[in-house]
């Protein structure tokens, strides 16, 4: 790549933006949040899947800004809850719910579920839109784990303090950021996404 490409990230979540910036920085791709570009309207996440929401969150800002926009939609799917909270993960306890409120609701719903039946998976879906609003790349991946009965660790965000990775016997809230960047649903999705992204920009530049 002769020029350093820049992508607008369709997210105002600072912790999520930080994770994605760290994942793309080694590949010479600059990432800025939509919050740094313009005062855009919030995208209504009314898709029926993570993939649909990711595509919408990429396409709408791309058309408004006439820039490349990368977006992702992710969440937690708990088997005993028939996949809930799923696409409603960020607002499980209501619109503008805090992480604590969402975690509290999840624990309440799992109060009578034994540990052996608390299996769950984090899912991450990524979409990249070109400045004309065409979705050029997509990727999706997941990470399996188990929901514990009380939060552990202060790292990460969302349901991370409740999501235990069996191989490490630690939650995402306890794991070092470097380890999480190898194991998480987001890291796995970007591992699939980044080589194609680099190839795309190498061809465009």
Q: What's the total number of domains in the chain?
A: 1
Kindly give, in sequence order, each residue whose CB lies less than 8 Å from that of residue 116, ignoring residues fewer than 6 positions away.
Answer: none
Among the options 3, 22, 73, 130, which is catalytic?
A: 73
In the residue annotation, 99 being an active-site residue is answered as no
- Six-digit token string for 162: 């409740």
Known binding residue 158? Answer is: yes
Asked if residue 38 is part of any domain, the answer here is yes
Question: Is residue 1 included in any domain, yes or no?
Answer: no
- Which pair of structure tokens corresponds to residue 31? 């990432």
Q: Is 105 annotated as a binding residue?
A: no
Q: pLDDT of the chain along its 205 residues, tens only?
A: 446 678 999 887 777 788 788 888 888 888 888 888 767 888 889 999 999 999 999 999 999 999 999 999 999 999 999 999 999 999 999 988 999 999 999 999 999 999 999 999 999 999 999 999 999 999 999 999 999 999 999 988 899 999 999 989 999 999 988 888 788 898 899 999 999 999 998 875 4
Residue 74 inside a domain? The answer is: yes
What's 68's domain CATH number?
3.90.950.10
Q: Is 144 annotated as a binding residue?
A: no
Q: Is 160 annotated as a binding residue?
A: yes
In a domain, 62, yes or no: yes
Is the bond leading into 85 cis (omega within 30 degrees of zero)?
yes
Query: Is this prediction's pTM over 0.85?
Result: yes
Structural domain boundaries enclosing 107: 6-204
Residue 33 known to bind ligand: no
């Amino acid at each position: 790549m002769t020029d350093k490409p820049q992508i607008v990230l369709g997210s105002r979540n600072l912790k999520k933006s930080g994770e994605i910036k760290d994942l793309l920085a080694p590949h010479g791709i600059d990432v800025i949040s939509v919050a740094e570009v313009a005062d855009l309207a919030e995208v209504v996440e009314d898709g029926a899947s993570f993939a649909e929401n990711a595509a919408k969150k990429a396409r709408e800002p791309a058309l408004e800004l006439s820039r490349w926009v990368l977006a992702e939609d992710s969440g937690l799917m708990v088997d005993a809850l028939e996949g809930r909270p799923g696409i409603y993960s960020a607002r499980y306890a209501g619109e503008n719910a805090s992480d604590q409120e969402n975690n509290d609701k999840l624990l309440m719903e799992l109060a009578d579920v034994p540990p052996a039946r608390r299996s769950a998976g984090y899912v991450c879906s990524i979409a990249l839109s070109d400045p004309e609003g065409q979705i050029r790349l997509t990727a999706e991946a997941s990470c399996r784990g188990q929901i514990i009965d009380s939060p552990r660790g202060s790292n990460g965000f969302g349901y991370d303090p409740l999501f235990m990775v069996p191989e490490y016997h630690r939650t995402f809230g306890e794991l070092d950021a470097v380890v999480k960047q190898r194991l998480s649903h987001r890291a796995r999705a970007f591992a699939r996404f980044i080589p194609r992204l680099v190839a795309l920009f190498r061809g465009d530049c």
